[in-house]
Structure formats: C-alpha cells, structure tokens
Chains A and B, each alone.
Chain A
Amino acid sequence: MALTNAHAEHEPSGPKTLSWPRRRGPARKLHALSRTAALSSKAALWSKAALCALLLAPDAFGDDTGESDPVAEVLTSPGGAGGAGAEDAPEFWVPDPTIASDTADLLADGDRYRFCQEPGYRLWPHEKDTYCPLAEHLASRCPELPRACERPPYGVSAEKDWSFDLSPDLDWLGAAAGLVRILFWIVLGLGVALLLRALVKNLAEEIQRRRGREAPTPEFVAWTPEAPESPRETDVQRLLARARDEAARGDFAAACGTAYAAALRALEHRHLLELHRSRTNGDYLRQLGAHPEEREQLRGVVREIETVQFGHALPDQALYERILARVTTLVGQAAVLLLFVIAPLVLTGCGDGPVPDAPGAAHGPDGYALLEGLLQRHSSSAGRRVRRLNGSMEAVSTFVALSPNLREEEWEHLMNWVSGGGTLLAAGVPAQLAKRLEYEPEVRSCDTVLDAPGLALVHAKADTFGAFPETSTLVSCGEAPFLVGMDYGEGVVYALADAGWLRNASLAAADNAQLVVQLLASPDGRVELLGPWTGSGANHPLESVHNAGLTPWLLQLLALAVAYAVSRGVRFRSPVEPVREQRRAFVEHAEALANQYARSRASGYALEQYGRWALERIRERVPVRERDLHALAHAVARRTGGEPMAILKILVEVQSAGQIQGAPEEHHRTMQALSRILRDVGGA
C-alpha cells in the first residue's frame, strides 16, 4: 500500500490539508494516510497494523512536538487497544472502554436524562422524528427512549417558542453547579421542613385539645358561654370543621360561636365585612346595608347567637342546626363565587401527562449536556462559554462551536486563536466560518452508514458536506465527507456536517461518543462549548449591559437624571431634620386662655382687669391733679381732640365692668375703644 505523503507545509493562516495535526502527531498522519489513500477496509487494516508497529518507535516521523498523543496512548497502553474486542477492531479508532462506561454512567442519571430513564416519558413530535430511528442503538443506555417512541408524542406543539429553559440546568456553572444545587436543595428542604413542622404542630394541638376537653356542664348548673377557642382562625372550612367537631362532642356553645365566626369570615373573604375586635354584631349588620340578602341571613344568625353569648339560652342541637343552616347558606354563597373563580384555573391547569423537558433543554434529547459531561471527564476542564470571545483564551485548548451567534469580530478573534495553535470543532459550518475556510457551503443528505473504522457510528438523518477541498475526511457517509479536518495556521479545524449529531440522544447511540471524545478530549487544556449561550455572560456589569443593547437607553436615562437634578438644584448643605416645636407658640396659649374666658363668660372680668391697667397707663400719660374720671376724660380730650363725654362714657364703663353684667360684644367694644384712647395718648 503506498502511503501518500499528505504532509503539507504549515503556514500561519488559511486552511490547509490536514497532514500532521499538531496535537495528535502521528495519529493524525495515520488518519490522513488512510483516508486519502481511499484504501479498502481490509487493506486499510493491514496498513494500519504495519503503521502501528512504526508508532512504537518514537519520533518516527520527526515532526513530533513532544506533546502527548492521547490516541497514541490509547493504542499503546494495555487498555488502550480498545479493551474487549480490540484485537478485532481497526487500530485507528479503538473504542475506549472508559468513554463507553462514562457515557452509560452519565445517561444512567434519571433525574437529568429523563428521556433515557423516566417511565412514561414522551417525546416532542420533532424529537420523535429525529431520534426514534436510533432507538435500537439506544436501548442499552436509554431504555425509555425506545418505549417513548412507541407512545404518541407530547400534545403541545414543539414549534412553541420556549423563550427560557424550563428545566433547571446548572451544569454550565461548572464547578459551582454542585454548590448551587446543594444550596437550592437546602433552601427547599428548609421550606418543606417548616411547613411540615407547622402542620404537625397544628395537628398535635388539635389532638391535645380534643383529649383535654371537659364534658359540657349539666343543665341545672349556671352555665356561662365561652368565646370560640381560636377566634383568630380565618379559614372558613376549618372553622366549619371545628364547629362540627365541637357539636359532635356536645359542646354546642362553642360550636355555635365557631359557626358564627365562619359566617363572618366568609363574608369578610367576599369583602362585604371588615372584622375588627371593636365591632359589634350590629356594626356588621350595618356594613351589609347594601346587601339585603346577606344581611337578613346574618341577622338571623346574630339573633340566635346572641341568645347564646349574652343571654342565658342553653345551646342545644336544634339551635346549633338552625345556626349552621344559615351559616352554610352564607358560606355556600361564598363557595359558589369561589368556585367560579377557581374552576377555570383548575381546568386550565390540566396537563397531558408528565411534561417532557423543553425542546433544547440541556439534558433533553436535543441538549448538549452529554457532550459536556464526557468532555469534563476526559479533559482538564470543560464547560460552556458564556462570555464573549473578546478576551484572552489562553486557558482554552479546544472550542466546540455548536451553532453560536458570534459577531464578525468574534469569528475573527476565534480564527486567529485557532491559527495560533488552537483546535476548533464546528458542528455545521456557518457562513462566517465557511468564508474563512474558503468553503462553498453545500449540504447533502446521506442515508448510508457512517464509516469510521473501528467504531460503529450511527445517525438518523445525516447531512454531509459537498466537496470540501483541502480537508481530510475523518468520517464519511458513503462517498461524501461527514467529518473533515484541516490545518489552520498552527491549529486545526474540524468540521462536522450535521450539527445535530452531537446532541444527547444522538451522542448516546452506539459509538458516536467514542469518536467525539477521542477527537476533542484534552487532558491538558480546557474545552469550551460555544453555543447560543455564548455572549449571555459578561466579564463585568457594563459589558453585560452592552451585550443586552441597553447602553444607549441607560445613557439617555442618565442624561435625563442629570438634567432633572440640575433643574432641581443642588443643595448647598446636607439636609437636616426640621426643628420640632416642643412648645406651643405664645399666641396659642393666649388663644386657649381666651377660649376659656369666653366659655366662662368672663368678658366682664377681662375688661375689668384690662381697664385697671389701661387707666393707670392713661393717668401716667395724661397726669391730672383730680383723680375723678371727669377730669381725666377732659384732659384726654384736650390731648387727643376727642369728645370728652364719649371718652368719659368709656372710662365709666371700664371702671364699672366688674359690677354690671354685659354682653361680651359690648365688653369687647369697650376694650377696643379704651385701647385706642391709650394709643392716642402715647401708648403703654
């Protein structure tokens, strides 16, 4: 068998024929040799056997970078030859038993991979179409999927736009997922524990209450009715149940009170009443003024219940029955209304059996959790990339592009990184990548078996590439390439024609996972999955805002806030609490005192006191030898130019204010006149 030297010169950028993939070393070359030679399977087997012998010699081809070659290790290690049956399997793709066991182990988690393990699981219509053809290949690892294929698909259309992932998937958090999951279960557990504790406590108290209750007092003993034991119970049905229990025990007093409380609560729930400890039964009846029917019903209950609570009526079965009949009518009205509200909610809540995982859910048939889980187990680390591809990617050794929505600059950044020595597996070749790979996208369908010597690969409906020049076909479907690889600068690009082949249900079938893990696993580096989630994270909050396209809005809001602040002005000092007045103003005291005088009809007394003081001031201002008012009045008249007799009249009224009764208005007028005289003579 002639070995075609497919080794090509390495160039810093641009696609090249894959000849010596940097990381894989000899294995890659072997791969390229077998493909490009287009040997038959048997010839390929012999040639591979010969070449394996060569691999035992180190540096056989000289271009060994010194990096470890996991495939070579698989081939050379005792278990690396593929485990059971490896002697018969082609040496190139040797099934790794650890990959198989990890795949089975991951899929055995029925809480996550419900489509594999949950009895009664039903698939969405599109899932059924896509994955049921693989059912026979999934039976061992996903026993429920073949059974799901026999059931009708789930009723809701799969075209419904699920804008969010309903299933809690925390695997993308990587190492933190476990901690978050633990915290979640702790919080949930605490909540359930508190609820159970409340229920048990309530039940225990109820049991204790029933055991400790005394027998009703006999009729001949003066009986004092007691208030309901739990007046603050608000649930109507619980109150009615308690009333029935109390009546069954013969405590009709409490039963009547409890039934009445149920009636009030029922009306309260209908917002017809506001219960308060200070409100009487009459108050409640008045509140129902606009509802005559309920008012009459409640009035009947009130009449009966008051004979029990405040009268000396001995409650009996008949009384209780009468009260209960009225209360039931009132509660029934409330229940009917409640039924009209609740029934539609209940009916709309009916489901169609257990709800399957949402289409595209991480652990659903269409998810990528299995790929991520396998890569985590066989790589240094693996996880989803949520940040944008705009920073350092040194820690990453391999990217797996699962139809991500990358910007042009991100593709550029990614391909620059690949050309610097990275590895990229693109599931499907988007236009931005095709442009860079100089590939004219062409998709064909293939119905034949995928060809990968040593592995049994299966597919449902595989898409294949058209002519993909400058690449090495790693897996073919018939004559068409299904998985190709090429050098890109210092790095390697793998292109997978069918993006759906890496989904959980597809990867779980046969040896599909073997190929992918062997191709992508990186024990020394990190593997990151690029997908629709890429770009949803951010290195910092501002980046997050920018990614969401909110930057212009926030800037505008900020500008508006600044404009508003400027318009409102800026404080020149820190705000202080207003000084609380601890005392009333003097004028309020004077006003209060005046009110007291007015209430006491003490205007005459006030005039007397004021007049005494004012007269003294007037005498000071207008000194006269005589003390009588006549001389004083004339002196004031000469000073002010007023009428002497008028002034004398005022002075006489003032002086006799304490002796003669008068109306307050008259006293007030006199005081005002005296005040004017005092002002005219010079004031106080």
Chain B
Amino acid sequence: MNVEEFSRAFHETADEVSRVLLGQREVVEHVLVAVLSRGHVLIEGVPGLGKTLLVRALGQVLSCSFRRIQFTPDLMPSDVTGNNVYNTKAGEFMFVPGPVFTHLLLADEINRAPAKTQAALLEAMQERSVTIDGTTRQLPDPFLVLATQNPVDSQGTYPLPEAQLDRFLLKVHVGYPSVEVERGILKNYLGGFDPGRLEEARLRPLLDVEQLLQMEGVLRSVAVQDEILDYITRIVTRTRSHGSVYVGASPRASVALLSTARAAAAAQGRAFVVPDDVKAYAHGVLRHRLILHPDAELENVSADDVIEGILRETPVPKSAA
C-alpha cells in the first residue's frame, strides 16, 4: 500500500462513519488518526453528541472486534480485565477474559469508575496486556481504547489523574452540531435511522485488521525533516516553561505529536510531514497533558488558550514571512 492508497482508504472510512455521525468529520478523522497511530483516545463532550455512536460505527467500518464497558462507581477491575473462575466440572480455574480483550474498546464514562478500576484499564492500555494471578495475557493487536467522559457530571465521578491522562494519545472535544447538521440529524431519524440498531444503517466494513496493520506500516515510510522535529520539540518544550503551565508536556507528548503528524500527512496523500500536520494535532495531543497554574485557571485561561499562544509564537520552519 502506498500513500495515495492510504489516503483513499482513510477518507473512505471517514466518509462511511460520517454517514451516521453528522457534523463531526474532524472528530472522526482525529479518531482514525489515533487508531492508525496505535494510540488511545479520550473523547469528551456533553451527553447526546454521539460519542458512543462514533465508536460503534467505527468498529463496524473497521471490521474490528468491538466491546463496550459502561463504567460505574461499582465497577471492579476484574470486570474489565477478566478473572479466573473455578470450573467445578473441570476442577480447575479457567480464565474468563474481560471485555478488554478486543480490538476496539469503548470505555464509556471512564470517569465514573473508581480509581482502582481505572488503573486496571490504564495498565492494559499501556502494556497491551493484562496480568491476572501472575499470568500475563496479551491483548489483541491492534488494541485501542476510546474512552468517553462527560465534562458536566460531577456527582459520583472520579476524574482521571493527570499522570494517567498522559497515556491517551489524543483528547478530542465533541461539540454541538450546527443548525444545518442538526436538521440533517432529524431528517436521518425521520428516514428511519436508529442509533440503537446501528446494524440497520448497513455501514460498509471497509477495512480489516490486516489492512489496518498495512496502513500502520505506510506511516513508517512518511518522511520527517529535521526542521519538523525541531518544530515539534520547540512546541512541546515551550509548554514546560510557559508562565501559565504548572506541569508541561512530557517527551511522550513529542512522540505522540510526531505520530499523529505522520498519520495526518499520509491522510493527505503526502509522503512527508509539513508544519500544518503538526499544528493540526497540537491541541489534541497537548490539551490533556498540561497542568495549569491555579492563577491561570482563576483568569479563565484554558489549556487550549495556552497551546494556541505557543503555536502563535513558534516560528514555522522555512517560513516565507
């Protein structure tokens, strides 16, 4: 597969998912980029914007196994990873895999589970394996967690600590659709669309695991100039010295930005990365990795504001200005 085929497949997949998820094309592409970059995604948005629908549709289009976990305050770690259960007939313990043993895992409202359960999932995200009773079991490849969280719920929630948020490649905001898009959503409903019965939407399975792995291989051939590396490094290191930031982004963020930029370049049909690719994913990669000073929060400065300011002051390589 070459870059042009990669781009064609990418856009076809995004188009197919966008058939059922209207007005969120950028979100769909961000999630696809994360999938191809082997990174996990944290999707944040108010209820009713189609976060769950997005992941379910993506699972169908990618022909990947898909499981969903609804996180609740009483969810136990074993409910996520699985457990050894004694089989009386066999007279031995048998491992019952948890929902984490899948390609695509939707962790719905991850911030409603207690810290212990979150930690179990996050360990699986990082290691791509689970260890139960001393036995390490590998998770399927690719393994991608798409976690959602509701920013307005505060009762009975357990926000992810910043150190664990760093494990997510991207944090994507899902916003309200425009008036035209919402009208289209209503028309879809009038046409018989039911998100609860997504299989009736007849989404085409365009990619499978093998093709996904091929696409990941294409990314490795995308060239990155030293100037682009300098650009990424300058952006990330600036977050560590910014006046409004208490804790800046780690080198993991630099790697994440590089990975997403390569995927973005390939999605555009280019075999090389340009500064636009870096800029396009800077917000998604960095916004959940910055801990702001309380003073900055008092002044209503958000992480996105800080990132925007850093991008404005960082010279683009080979700028004609």
Q: Contact residues of A with B, CB < 8 Å?
A: 225, 227-228, 231, 257, 260-261, 264-265, 275-283, 306-307, 309-312, 584, 588, 591-593, 595-596, 599, 601, 663-665
Contact = CB atoms under 8 A, between A and B. Distances in A.
B169 to A, nearest CB: 22
B270 interface: yes
Given A311-B270, A312-B223, A663-B155, A277 B297 contact: no
A272 to B, nearest CB: 14
B154 to A, nearest CB: 7
Nearest 10 A-B pairs (CB), nearest first? A282-B276, A275-B321, A592-B294, A277-B315, A261-B320, A311-B272, A280-B275, A280-B276, A663-B155, A227-B318
B298 interface: yes
Contacts of A231: 319-321
A592 B295 CA distance: 7
Category for how many chain B residues contact A: 20 to 34
Contacts of A310: 223, 225, 227-228, 272-275, 318
Interface in B183-235: 223, 225, 227-228
B158 A278 contact: no
Given A592-B294, A663-B156, A275 B273 contact: no
Q: Would you call the interface of chain B mostly helix, strand, loop, or mixed?
A: loop
Nearest to A591: B298
23 contacts: A227-B317, A228-B320, A257-B318, A261-B320, A264-B321, A276-B319, A277-B316, A278-B316, A278-B319, A279-B316, A280-B275, A282-B276, A282-B279, A307-B272, A309-B274, A310-B225, A310-B227, A310-B274, A310-B275, A596-B294, A599-B159, A664-B154, A665-B155
Contacts of A595: 294, 297-298
Nearest to B154: A664
A15 to B, nearest CB: 82
Given A228-B320, A592-B294, A596-B294, A664 B155 contact: yes
A283 B282 CA distance: 14
Nearest to A600: B159
B295 A278 contact: no
Contacts of A280: 274-276, 279, 316
Interface in B139-192: 154-159
B312 interface: yes
A279 B319 contact: yes
Contacts of B298: 588, 591-592, 595
A311 B276 CA distance: 14
A277 B318 contact: no
Nearest to B312: A278
A283 B228 CA distance: 16
B321 A277 contact: yes
B311 interface: yes
Given A278-B314, A282-B274, 5 more contacts: A231-B320, A277-B315, A310-B225, A311-B272, A592-B294
A228 B320 CA distance: 8
Contacts of B270: 306, 311
Contact of A277 (B154, B158, B273, B319): B319
Contact of B313 (A278, A584, A588): A278
Contacts of B311: 278
A283 B295 CA distance: 32
